[in-house]
Amino acid sequence: MKDGHEYGFDTLQIHAGSRPDPATGARQTPIYQTTAYVFRDADHAAALFNLQEVGFIYSRLTNPTVAVLQERIATLEGGVGAVCCSSGHAAQIMALFPLMAPGRNVVVSTRLYGGTVTQFSQTIKRFGWSAKFVDFDDFDAVRAAIDDDTRAVFCESIANPGGYITDIPAIAGIADGAGIPLIVDNTSATPYLCRPIELGATLVVHSTTKYLTGNGTVTGGAIVDSGSFDWSANGKFPSLSEPEPAYHGLRFHETFGPLAFTFHGIAVGLRDLGMTMNPQGAHYTLLGIETLSLRMQRHVENAVEIATWLENHPAVEAVTYAGLPSSPYHGRVETICPRGAGALFTVALKGGYDACVRFVNALQIFSHVANLGDARSLVIHSASTTHRQLTPEQQEAAGAAPNVVRLSIGIEDAGDLIADLDQALSAAAG
């Protein structure tokens, strides 16, 4: 691609990071299904292991297919580098890994995917880490939650399940004032709808399983580094600023500058945590990203039409879609997600828990699955599934009350989806 030319999103989603295979001329990125790579000689091997040269060593660390995906996602997000891994949950742990230590905490939004709430409220305790859950619409509360042991702030751009939009510039300002990074999960929005780094985020994480792949075939995750954070400024991040014993005292930030976090994620994170993305999974995700903008446009168009119809249905109590003028988050769409509010939202039914169960069971086109971001339309009753482990108070805070179902609107014909919802709502009414 031409150096110095600023390419559009539609071009980058197809070409970024990808070049014809030098050995065969293959235009599509090959699946490099190999465990290891032959070194040129002993000096070459030593240079790679000392991080003095970039290259391929072992596929737990680096793989050519995965490397193309990393460069493509980083380019689309406006970051300097990315690390791909085995799942979205792996990406969250790997994002925190260089930042945290026993006794440290992360300040997180109450509006998060239920699995993330469980991971942060329960699982990370085993590392000696803790999380403080705060309503991110209350900026004073976010500031007050940050203390001397806080090492990051975490939120979702478009929160799962309710589709709430976070005021990323405001939260970024708070994090920056405290000298700590803001991590934004951009899974529900994708870089086509939202660019958190441009809005002040330090790191962006993805479950590539969802919209980026878009076809429900593989799991994966990614961490994108903005390259803009000074890891050596205040002594809070010794993994990046201080000598690393495993690499003979190398200091990641001093040595790699803006790419310090990315190199640490590969050379330490993947090396020791082993949360590796397999090359075939990377291949499927690369294929999915090639049509990301086209799919997201249709997702949003359908979501607006369907949410508008649902809001006026007599069996519906409320719809949380930020693309509706009635939403309290509608005013943030233009700033945070100028191309649309995504295609994920919840619907509260007047019949409560039992009506939700009847509604889900009656749907025919919508698939009842624990996933989102597929080309197919999906539905789930969060309170009995993805958010089941949470307390009633946590469910309410996350937007997953017992009378609520989550819809992930696909790219099918909107009229067919509305007809399916209509007959299911009739069944839900008894």
Q: Which domains does the chain have, with CATH numbers?
A: 15-288 (3.40.640.10), 292-428 (3.90.1150.10)
Rounded Cα gap, residues 118 and 19, in angstroms:
41
Name the amino acid, one letter, at 281: G
396 pLDDT higher than 80 = no
Global confidence as pTM: 0.95
Q: For all residues of the chain together, what is the average pLDDT?
A: 95
2 pLDDT higher than 70 = no
pLDDT of residue 214: 97
pLDDT of residue 382: 81
270 pLDDT higher than 80 = yes
pLDDT, mean of residues 74-80: 98
Share of the chain above pLDDT 90, in %: 90
How long, in residues, is the chain?
430
Rounded Cα gap, residues 151 and 173, in angstroms:
15
Q: Which of 13-22, 79-88, 251-260 has the lowest mean pLDDT?
A: 13-22
- Terminal-residue alpha carbon distance, the chain: 59
- The torsion defined by the Cα of 212, 216, 220 and 225, in degrees rounded to 10, comes to 10
pLDDT, mean of residues 378-392: 81
Give residue-wise pLDDT tens across range 140-182: 999 999 999 999 999 999 999 889 999 999 999 999 999 999 9
User: 1 pLDDT band (50/70/90 cuts)?
Assistant: low
B/e letters for 378-393, b = 16+ CB within 10 Å, e = fewer, are bbbbbbebbbeebeee
Rounded Cα gap, residues 407 and 377, in angstroms:
7
378 pLDDT higher than 70 = yes
Q: Single out the residue of 160, 168, 174, 210 nearest to residue 190, CA to CA.
A: 210
Share of the chain above pLDDT 70, in %: 99
pLDDT of residue 343: 98
CB atoms within 10 A of CB 135: 12
Rounded Cα gap, residues 71 and 259, in angstroms:
13
CB 373 within 8 A of CB 347: no
pLDDT of residue 53: 93
Rounded Cα gap, residues 235 and 244, in angstroms:
14
pLDDT of residue 232: 98
CB 322 within 8 A of CB 329: yes
B/e letters for 183-213, b = 16+ CB within 10 Å, e = fewer, are bbbbbbbbbbbbbbbebbbbbbbbbbbbbbb
DSSP run (H or E) holding 252:
helix 252-256
Give residue-wise pLDDT tens across range 173-230: 999 999 999 999 999 999 999 999 999 999 999 999 999 999 999 999 999 999 999 9
Rounded Cα gap, residues 346 and 160, in angstroms:
9
Give residue-wise pLDDT tens across range 12-30: 999 999 989 888 999 999 9
